[in-house]
Amino acid sequence: MRVVRTVAALREAIAEAGDGGVGLVPTMGALHEGHLSLVRAARQDHELVIVSVFVNPTQFNDAADLDAYPRDEARDVELAASAGADLVFAPNVAEMYPQGFATTVRVTGSITHRLEGAMRGSAHFDGVATIVAKLLIAVSPDSAYFGAKDAQQVVVVRRMVADLGIPTRIVSCPTSREEGGLARSSRNARLSPSARTRALAIPRALREIEGALSHGEMDAGVLKERGLAVLRADELEVEYLEIVDPDGLEALASVTRPALCVVAVRVENVRLIDNVLLTPAHALAAER
Ligand code: AMP
């Protein structure tokens, strides 16, 4: 497994590879099964699979969160190799943001201002869009793989790629979950055993909403209350629980077509997000 640290070395390595296509999996390291599922998807599709490992400082709104972010490159390289990656791109901050760096890629509108943008500040998605644009320019991958767990990130990246005419296919991979349904996240490592148990209320709340929808409840206000009740029972601090349009992320009054239910909570000061795609029964029936 090769590890390269500069864009120049990365381009050389890509030039040496054959022309079976390049798949890129952008990560911030602390790899877990969720990341590895993206690597495996890339492996299936392409001859050269590159995993980038870069804790991007510009997307953190909280310096303490950035400092506390888990880092273990040797382990990441081993795990990436085990899932079939060919190359790890692990630049330092100066490589990605050289002295005098003054460019920001900004996606505007409700897709960046609502939900995560509202809670973490609009600079969060500026940081995400800028680093993803830089990675896509550095690698020129045929496909780039992202997790559906960060649903808003996928929407923002798709918008940016379309607007800038970047010729990369954006692939959204299903959320990988632990036993009990908790979405895998690098932040789960910071949960105490009791916080981990309480965090199971997140997937339970999403299942509650799915269950109510399957029994015919389509009112978004009622569905949200059902989910909030589950979260409150475990005293989780809810930042938001919303039912939104999957493309524009505007709040919906009722679920008469596929909708995204997104949630963000804090458990013992660890911030966790999750989501589920809601499909009303009549839409499911129409698919059959
Ligand atoms: P991160 O290192 O947290 O920036 O995540 C890197 C990529 O892995 C992002 O596209 C995430 O959406 C994706 N990812 C993180 N957790 C999961 C998960 N549980 N299932 C699937 N993809 C995930």
Give burial (CB, 10 Å; 0-12/13-18/19+) of 44: exposed
Residues 27 and 161 in one domain: yes
Q: Which of 35, 113, 124, 282 is catalytic?
A: 35
| Residue 143 sits in the same domain as residue 191 | no
Task: Looking at the structure, tell me whether residues 133 and 206 fall in a common domain.
Answer: no
**Same-domain status, 204 and 169:** no
Instruction: Report the atom number in ligand 1 closest to the C-alpha of 185.
Output: 16
Domain-embedded: residue 288: no
What's the 103 CA to ligand 1 centre distance in angstroms? 25
Residues 78 and 163 in one domain: yes
229 within a domain of the structure (yes/no): yes
Q: Report the run of H or E that residue 22 belongs to, with start and end.
A: strand 22-27
Return the CATH number at 228.
Answer: 3.30.1300.10
| In-domain check, residue 180 | no
pTM higher than 0.85: yes
Last residue of a domain, one of 124, 152, 173: 173
Q: What angle do CA 82, 85, 88 make, to 5 degrees?
A: 110
User: Is 150 within a domain?
Assistant: yes
Residues 239, 107 share a domain? no
Residue nearest to atom 10 of ligand 1 (CA): 146
In a shared domain, residues 197 and 154: no
Percent helix, strand and coil across the chain, each to the nearest 5: 45, 20, 30
Residue 179 belongs to a domain? no
The contacts found for 191-198 with CB under 8 angstroms, 24 or more apart, are 191/267, 191/268, 191/270, 192/268, 195/267, 195/268, 195/270, 198/234, 198/235, 198/236, 198/267
Residue 160 falls within a domain, yes or no?
yes
Annotation marks residue 124 as catalytic: no
Q: Are 196 and 239 in the same domain? A: yes
Pocket test for ligand 1, best of 27, 51, 132 (most atoms within 8 A of CB): 27
Distance (Å) of CA 274 to CA 105, 108, 263 = 25, 23, 5
Q: What is the pLDDT, as a whole number, of residue 62?
A: 87
Ligand 1 atom 8, closest CA: 35
Could you tell me the distance, in angstroms and rounded to a whole number, from the CA of residue 282 to the centre of ligand 1? 31
Asked if 238 and 98 sit in the same domain, the reply is no
pLDDT of 155: 98
Task: Based on the fold, state whether residues 192 and 141 are members of the same structural domain.
Answer: no
Q: Which domain holds residue 264?
A: 186-283
Print burial letters for 94-110: b (CB count within 10 Å at least 16), e (below 16). ebbbeeeeeeebebeee
pLDDT at 287: 64
pLDDT given for residue 22 in this prediction? 98
Does a structural domain hold residue 70? yes
d(CA 142, CA 24): 8
Domain containing residue 135: CATH number:
3.40.50.620
In a domain, 126, yes or no: yes
* pLDDT-flagged residues of the chain (< 50): none
For residues 117 and 204, membership in a common domain is answered with no
Domain count, the chain: 2
pLDDT for the residue numbered 20: 82
Q: Which one of 142, 173, 204 terminates a domain?
A: 173
Residues 6+ apart with CB under 8 A from 201: 230, 231, 233, 234, 236
Pocket of ligand 1 (CB under 6 A): 27-28, 34-35, 37-38, 146-147, 149-150, 173, 175-176, 183-186
Q: Which residue, of 173, 200, 218, is where some domain finishes? A: 173
Tell me: do 152 and 196 sit in the same domain: no
